[in-house]
């Protein structure tokens, strides 16, 4: 590098530095859902675009997060997925492979089998998808409508500590799916997600 190029190089490093750690982008309701292509625990590939004419529910998941695991034990998600059979349910795990919470596919599958989870669990190894959606917590829920637009972004229900009986909770995803199927607007369309932080 010729010495005269030092300052432009410094300027360029500033660009790199400033862009190196973007905060998670929050995907807004009404915006196009960010596209993704991820592998499930069996290595099969799933793309959001595969389900272009369907409603898709995205659930950020982490078996080692007690809040995510509580919902798995209580069958919050599996029962809801069964209740809305026409909806594509995808769980996404954005846990960094260096983090203690990370599970190898075999262990992850064993957990899913134990909890009776039969929907696909996608591995977001680069955490790119998690950041594109602004996924903050496990669980963090999104509803993507038939047009590929985000219709809901937030918590699964109104009971973060799980202190109410299951049928006394307001399940926002259930309410959103019912409203959407009836041609109504999803309300509330946004809530504050709760749970463990996504282990980026």
Partner 1 sequence: MRPATRALATALALAAALPAAGATGAWQANPQSRVRLVSAWSAAPASGPLRLGLELATEPGWHVYWKNSGDAGYPPYLDLSPTPEVTAASLLWPAPERYALPGDLEAFGYAGSVVYPVAGRLEATGRGRVTLAADLDYLVCEVECIPYRYRLELDQALAAEGRPPEPDPAIAPLLEAWEARVPVAAESVPGLEARLLLEPGPGAEATLEVRLEGAAPLAGGPPPDLFLEASDAYAAGTPRRVAGEERGVTFRVPLTFLRAAGATAPVEVAWTVTRLARPGAGGEVALAVEARQTVAPAATAAAGGEGPASSAGTGALLAALLGGLLLHLTPTLLPVLAVRGLELRAVEGGPAGAARSARATAVGAFAGSLLLGGLALAVHARRPGTGWGAQLQEPGAVALLALVATLFSLHLWGLFRRPLALVPAGPPPVGPDPGRSFAVGLALPVLALPWPLPPLTRSLGPALAAGAVPGLAAFAFLGLGLALPYLLLAAWPGLARRLPAPADAGGLRPWARHLVEALGFLAATAVVWLLYLLSRQLRSDGLALVELTLLALALLAWLRATARRRALVAALGLALVLLAGSVVWLAESRRLAPPEATRPVDPTVSTPNTQGDPRP
Residues 102-141 that bind partner 1 (CB under 8 A): 127, 130-131, 134, 136-137
Binding span for partner 1 by CB under 8 A among 36-44, 77-85, 114-122, 159-167? 159-167
- CA gap 188, 142 in Å, rounded: 12
Residue with smaller CB distance to partner 1, 14 or 52: 14
Residue the block writes with tokens 């793309």: 47
Q: How many CB atoms lie within 10 A of CB 111?
A: 18
Alpha carbon separation from 46 to 37, 38, 90, 122, 150 (Å, rounded): 6, 5, 9, 8, 18
Q: How far apart are CA 101 and CA 5, in angstroms?
A: 45
The answer to whether 170 contacts partner 1 (rule: CB under 8 A) is no
Task: List beta partners, residue 38.
Answer: 46
Stretch that binds partner 1, among 14-22, 38-46, 85-93, 115-123 (CB under 8 A): 14-22
- Strand order across the 120-123 sheet: 45-47, 37-40, 120-123, 88-93, 56-60, 141-144, 150-154
Question: Binding pattern to partner 1, positions 67-106, x when CB under 8 A?
Answer: x--x-------------------------x--xxx-----
Please, what is the minimum distance in Å from the beta carbon of residue 57 to partner 1? 18
Asked if residue 33 lies in contact with residue 144, where contact means CB atoms within 8 angstroms, the answer is yes
Asked if 160 interacts with partner 1 (CB under 8 A), we say yes
For 11, phi then psi, to 5°, come to: -60, -45
* Position 166 contacts partner 1 (CB under 8 A): no
Window of 10-18, 37-45, 102-110, 117-125 that interacts with partner 1 by CB under 8 A: 10-18
Among 43, 85, 161, 183, binds partner 1 (CB under 8 A): 161
Binding site for partner 1 (CB under 8 A): 3-8, 10-11, 13-15, 17-26, 28-31, 64-67, 70, 96, 99-101, 127, 130-131, 134, 136-137, 153-154, 160-163, 188-192, 194-200
């Amino acid at each position: 590098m010729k010495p005269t190029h030092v300052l432009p190089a410094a300027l360029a490093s500033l660009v790199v530095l400033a862009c190196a750690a973007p905060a998670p982008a929050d995907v807004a309701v009404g915006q196009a859902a960010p596209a993704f292509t991820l592998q499930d625990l069996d290595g099969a590939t799933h793309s959001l675009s595969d389900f272009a004419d369907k409603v898709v529910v995205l659930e950020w998941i982490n078996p080692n997060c007690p809040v995510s695991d509580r919902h798995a034990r209580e069958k919050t998600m599996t029962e809801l997925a069964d209740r809305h059979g026409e909806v594509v349910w995808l769980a996404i795990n954005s846990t960094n492979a260096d983090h203690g919470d990370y599970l190898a596919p075999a262990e992850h599958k064993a957990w899913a089998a134990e909890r009776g989870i039969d929907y696909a669990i996608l591995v977001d190894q680069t955490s790119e998808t998690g950041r594109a959606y602004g996924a903050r917590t496990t669980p963090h829920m999104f509803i993507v409508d038939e047009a590929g637009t985000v219709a809901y972004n937030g918590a699964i229900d109104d009971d973060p500590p799980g202190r109410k009986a299951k049928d006394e909770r307001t399940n926002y995803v259930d309410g959103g799916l019912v409203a959407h199927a009836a041609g109504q607007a999803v309300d509330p369309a946004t809530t504050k997600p709760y749970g463990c932080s996504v282990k980026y």
